[in-house]
Chain A
């Protein structure tokens, strides 16, 4: 394992070390907002203390795992391909933007536009789990994958902001909540999660509970809503060809 005290090192220098080092496991200490940490990298295990900057793990690739012990800034896991990002704190805006594979688990909350335009392809199914609450525009333009918001400190209140699922045309959003967002567009259909739904997220929730030491029974002992695109009423601009 390679220990690096990052301090005021430039992101370029830091990434060069991580990329070129024969070592695959890194402990980064005293991280001060360095952007793009591990962007596009394969098979790197990175533990981060301090605050990583924007676009942490952007385009992250197979076999990589990033664990952040504090908060993250914006665009965590932007266009992520594979791998895992585990955040013990909160995330800023656009976490998981356009991710196609891999997992992001956030113990705390996420800002605006989390999981926007996530998409799935074959066995690549991105997963974004937010422990507490998400800001507005959660899952906007969602095309595939799964977003789960657990609302752990919300006492059953709706754990998302405004405009949740706007433009959603694929994928699934799970909300652990007693109430639904009040402003869902008519292109999103909702229902209470059935056994099959719960079964489909069991492994993910188990991992979440292991990572952050939660009791999974408490998590499952609550109501889950599922949000899906309405296939009979898709988002469609009505065109007249000339």
Chain B
């Protein structure tokens, strides 16, 4: 007798009075949930296969469908949640490491939501962004501390290589392979139109996307996939991936079945072979070794590209960032533990790392104290969900933010956290042609441009409210932030006062 220990978490509710048996929900569900019962002449669902991605709901022409959380439950227990119990069932049955994707769904504090933004009243007038110029443009790279003059007393203006962003928001690394060609194309075209950057991730660069080079950050990770001199030269900046917020301390493994013909071309490994990114870079065991890689990349590209070093937000991040700033990197990217991923061991995603807000505050403070804040720009990512999060991040000390999950949601992602299954019904986290075709890159790019343009307007409004007309004046301006419901220690780490102070 077969015993089913794991029950479905969601139920597909079909209003039979509305259902016209068009079978669209059946065709559109890559998980094979919905089917037509010929005998009963009705559509039925095998809900235990459902990942709650809303594709069927969104395409149903008569609005007959909804997905609800099942009320099937275990005996109430404050210590043992349904997840704890079912995950033990799963591992007891299979002996496997639990695998999931996207950012952690667990209830950890989101410090963005515990900080409030200031606005001017009476003394310092607010500014109306509709009437007055507002500067959201920013530059990333090393900054000179002093103004230097040449022998004719002209200011020497040659700076170290910089990235120019029309607003301090970039799309963070997602490799081709983990996401689809169309998703990459949408990100690349949107970045170009917006005057910002997208990031290749560690999968190399598809030949079709070299034309977006001016708006591209090329990544070098421990697997060094698709890395060669032409690739390094193709982007505006090079990012060394040391870590990722969703899975600090571990590498990546793109299984052979995802290495399709096209993916194989950009990763430059044979079709169907496993792409393994070891946990560490095997030539980096110290800050000195990291310096070696930073300068190797600088030498290879003749000092024309800023080098970004991306790390996961972890304990002691301040000291780590200080080391990175001293090793020649131009930009440090910090990825918080709530950041997304195409696949990560569940226990690591849910338990390793720290919130990016605390990491950012700690790093900015440490670099200032050491007098080297100008040596690097700081970019933060790992749950930037809105323009308000952007403003708070900048006020807390970031030069710019990285977004990925927000961008994918703009492309249709419903956060079903099933990217690792490779069957994304929205054509994002998949290499299956038929699913990929569901994402129209032009429409996707338009949605991204809409989203970021709307954020830009909101950022200007919030800046105007504070009486600030340039993003540079907001950078590290912690006086514009107040904590709400935070302990003394949390306020101390964030370097802000409590609301009411």
**Contact residues of B between 193 and 245, Cβ < 8 Å to A:** 222-225, 227-229, 232
Structural contact, B276 and A141, CB atoms closer than 8 A: yes
Kindly list chain A residues whose C-beta atoms are within 8 Å of the C-beta of B282: 94, 97, 113, 116-117, 140-141
A206 within 8 A of B: no
Kindly list chain A residues whose C-beta atoms are within 8 Å of the C-beta of B300: 36, 39-40, 58-59
B99 within 8 A of A: yes
- Complexed CA–CA distance, A98 and B78 (Å): 50
Given B253, B299, B301, which contacts A237 in the complex, CB threshold below 8 Å? B253
Structural contact, B295 and A36, CB atoms closer than 8 A: yes
Given B224, B229, B232, B253, which contacts A98 in the complex, CB threshold below 8 Å? B224
Q: Given A141-B278, A240-B99, decide whether A121 and B268 contact each other with a Cβ distance below 8 A.
A: yes
Please name the residue on chain A nearest to B9 by beta carbon. A242
Q: Given A40-B301, A241-B99, decide whether A94 and B283 contact each other with a Cβ distance below 8 A.
A: yes
Structural contact, A100 and B292, CB atoms closer than 8 A: no
A78 within 8 A of B: yes
- Complexed CA–CA distance, A164 and B89 (Å): 38
Contact with A along B151-185 (1 / 0, CB 8 A): 00000000000000000000000000000000000
Tell me the smallest distance from the CB of A200 to a CB of chain B, in Å.
Answer: 17
- Complexed CA–CA distance, A223 and B192 (Å): 58
Contact with A along B302-329 (1 / 0, CB 8 A): 1100000000000000000000000000
Tell me the smallest distance from the CB of A35 to a CB of chain B, in Å.
Answer: 7
Kindly list chain A residues whose C-beta atoms are within 8 Å of the C-beta of B98: 239-240, 242
**Contact residues of A between 143 and 193, Cβ < 8 Å to B:** 143-144, 167, 169-170
Structural contact, A242 and B99, CB atoms closer than 8 A: yes
- Complexed CA–CA distance, A12 and B278 (Å): 30
Q: List 22 A-B contacts (CB under 8 A).
A: A11-B295, A12-B299, A12-B303, A19-B302, A40-B232, A55-B292, A58-B296, A59-B296, A61-B229, A78-B283, A79-B224, A98-B223, A98-B227, A117-B222, A119-B269, A120-B269, A121-B270, A169-B276, A238-B95, A239-B98, A240-B96, A241-B420
B16 within 8 A of A: no
A132 within 8 A of B: no
Contact with B along A215-242 (1 / 0, CB 8 A): 0000000000000000000110111111
Kindly list chain B residues whose C-beta atoms are within 8 Å of the C-beta of A97: 282-283
Kindly list chain B residues whose C-beta atoms are within 8 Å of the C-beta of A234: 274
Q: Which residues of B contact A (CB under 8 A)?
A: 87, 90-91, 94-100, 222-225, 227-229, 232, 253, 264, 268-270, 273-274, 276, 278, 282-283, 292, 295-296, 299-303, 345-346, 420-421
Tell me the smallest distance from the CB of B30 to a CB of chain A, in Å.
Answer: 14
A54 within 8 A of B: yes
Chain A interfacial residues counted at CB < 8 A: 45
Q: Given A55-B292, A55-B296, decide whether A170 and B96 contact each other with a Cβ distance below 8 A.
A: no
Kindly list chain B residues whose C-beta atoms are within 8 Å of the C-beta of A239: 96-99, 345
Kindly list chain B residues whose C-beta atoms are within 8 Å of the C-beta of A74: 283
Tell me the smallest distance from the CB of A128 to a CB of chain B, in Å.
Answer: 15
Kindly list chain B residues whose C-beta atoms are within 8 Å of the C-beta of A94: 282-283
Structural contact, A35 and B292, CB atoms closer than 8 A: yes
Q: Given A169-B276, A240-B96, A242-B98, decide whether A144 and B346 contact each other with a Cβ distance below 8 A.
A: no
Q: Given A94-B282, A240-B90, decide whether A81 and B228 contact each other with a Cβ distance below 8 A.
A: yes
Given contacts A12-B303, A40-B229, A239-B96, 14 further A-B contacts (CB under 8 A): A11-B295, A58-B296, A79-B224, A79-B228, A97-B282, A98-B224, A100-B228, A120-B270, A143-B276, A238-B96, A239-B98, A240-B90, A242-B100, A242-B346
